[in-house]
């Protein structure tokens, strides 16, 4: 199993990669730049190249996460343009680091009464970005954590958005376990149903990363509050085990975004390795 966590780039991209290896992680996630800004980063090509070479030499998988203001349904034309330029910058950095892609949030609807307009805007925005992108890194769309029935909470939506894009080969998916639990997509008791549905519509063929998080709240409440995997959450170990023992997920990196002040990520990765590290 490939377990890792989100790491800081204060010591550069190569610094994050070295920290991952020091933690006995086999994957890591990072913000390519300031996580609270859509500004463009003029990054060091030497740093990204060293990161790429180091990851390849150590069998390390990396994935980038776009800054918080990035999502695919911006509510103004200026925000839309800013997000497009920012995501292209994120893709360039991720590609230079040898990362599989850039995770981006689905977004919220412009108008609850007319969700179709939001989907149309999202698909057009994806096309505007991806027609300008020729690298290997993909945009990885993450499932939302809102209440059941909200935009971005079903596998069908994610697959349909990808299908309707002119550049589906440049789009993949990120499955967040806390988001899925919060939205009722995965209640902890219906993994086989989620798996069967995802396989039938081709979702798991395009899955590149799992955000591996427990939930501080019960399922179907739409609350996105992460908890440690083994303590303080409503998703139980046996429910996580069903997911982990799924053959289709054996090569997918599981990235912790759990609160490290409650359980340090190095300790949590060790716990994961002891319990599930040899799952095949």
CATH architecture assignment, domain 2-276: Alpha-Beta Barrel (3.20)
Nearest to 21 by CA among 9, 3, 45: 3
Give me the tens of pLDDT residue by residue for the chain, a chain 280 residues long.
999 999 999 999 999 999 999 999 999 999 999 999 999 999 999 999 999 999 999 999 999 999 999 999 998 999 999 999 999 999 999 999 999 999 999 988 887 778 899 999 999 999 999 999 999 999 999 999 999 999 999 999 999 999 999 999 999 999 999 999 999 999 999 999 999 999 999 999 999 999 999 999 999 999 999 999 998 899 999 999 999 999 999 999 999 999 999 999 999 999 999 999 877 6
| pTM for this model (two decimals) | 0.97
């Amino acid at each position: 199993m490939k377990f890792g966590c989100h790491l800081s780039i204060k010591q550069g991209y190569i610094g994050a990669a070295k920290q991952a290896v020091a933690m006995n992680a086999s994957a890591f996630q990072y913000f390519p730049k300031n996580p609270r800004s859509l500004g463009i980063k003029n990054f060091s090509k030497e740093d990204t190249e060293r990161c790429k070479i180091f990851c390849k030499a150590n069998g390390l998988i990396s994935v980038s996460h776009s800054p918080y203001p990035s999502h695919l349904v911006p509510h103004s034309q200026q925000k839309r343009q800013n997000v497009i330029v920012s995501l292209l910058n994120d893709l360039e950095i991720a590609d230079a680091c040898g990362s599989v892609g850039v995770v981006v949030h689905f977004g919220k609807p412009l108008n609850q009464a007319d969700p179709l307009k939001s989907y149309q805007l999202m698909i057009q925005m994806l096309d505007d970005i991806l027609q300008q992108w020729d690298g290997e890194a993909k945009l990885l769309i993450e499932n939302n954590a809102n209440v059941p029935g909200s935009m971005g909470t079903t596998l069908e939506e994610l697959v349909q958005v990808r299908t309707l894009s002119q550049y589906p080969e440049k789009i993949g998916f990120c499955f967040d376990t806390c988001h899925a639990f919060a939205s009722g997509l995965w209640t902890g008791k219906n993994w086989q149903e989620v798996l069967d549905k995802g396989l039938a519509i081709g979702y798991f063929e395009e899955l590149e990363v799992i955000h591996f998080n427990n939930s501080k709240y019960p399922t179907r409440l739409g609350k996105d509050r992460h908890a440690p995997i083994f303590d303080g959450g409503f998703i139980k170990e046996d429910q996580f085990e069903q997911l982990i023992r799924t053959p289709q997920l054996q090569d997918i990196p599981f990235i912790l975004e759990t609160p490290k002040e409650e359980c340090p990520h190095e300790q949590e990765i060790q716990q994961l390795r002891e319990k599930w590290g040899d799952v095949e």
